[in-house]
Amino acid sequence: MNFELFPSPEASTLHFEQLAQAQGYRCIAGIDESGRGPLAGPVVAAAVILPDTFDLPGLTDSKKLSHRQREHLFPLIRQQALAVGLGLVDAAEIDRRNILQATLFAMSLAVQRLRLPADFLLVDGIFPVPLATPQRTLKQGDSRSLSIAAASVVAKVVRDRMMAGYERRHPGYGFAAHKGYGCASHLAAIAALGPSPLHRRTFRGVREHCAP
């Protein structure tokens, strides 16, 4: 472990995982997403089940980590985790469902794609995943639970890599730099080029430039 990557880590804990274990649960998955706010690209959710022996100093909410830190942690999480599941929903489905329902659907897909079936879920936020699996929602869960923090890093890295790849398929929008978020350069590109197939046409900043 290169501790220089994490000069002031804000470590999450396994407190909520241990509470669930005390109730008899054994496969506890942390759930988080990346990409609710952007104007383009998918929303990506991850579900991660960690072992009791998990040890990765510096792991916390992906938003508090640099790109370099996330890329460093990503393979280590994959190596140590008992199971990792991913779910994604594309822009067209986001427009059809709305972003909240699309996010919850992506989370449910991530849980269903775990190699080990989860018997309890720790979900970042206030909305439960639409599954019968027992679960607990946690506000700012990615800063309070290692399982959720791990899921936040996995979801963020996977989505960022996807957006970098989309830059080659849809040049001119700057997806590799802003990852689809509504910065000034992105809004200017939409105005100049019109929306791409990756854009969420129900979102303000995009819908104004869609043909009636």
Largest CA-CA distance found in the chain, in angstroms, rounded: 57
**Amino acid 56: pLDDT:** 87
**Amino acid 58: pLDDT:** 87
**Amino acid 4: pLDDT:** 40
**Amino acid 158: pLDDT:** 98
Question: Is this prediction's pTM over 0.85?
Answer: yes
Question: Does CATH place domain 3-166 in 3.40.50.1100?
Answer: no
Tens of each residue's pLDDT in the chain, 212 residues: 333 443 344 446 899 999 999 999 999 999 999 999 999 999 999 999 999 888 888 898 898 999 999 999 999 999 999 999 999 999 999 999 999 999 999 999 999 999 999 999 999 999 999 999 999 999 999 999 999 999 999 999 999 999 999 999 999 999 999 999 999 999 999 999 999 999 999 999 999 999 87
Domain locations in the chain as residue ranges: 3-166
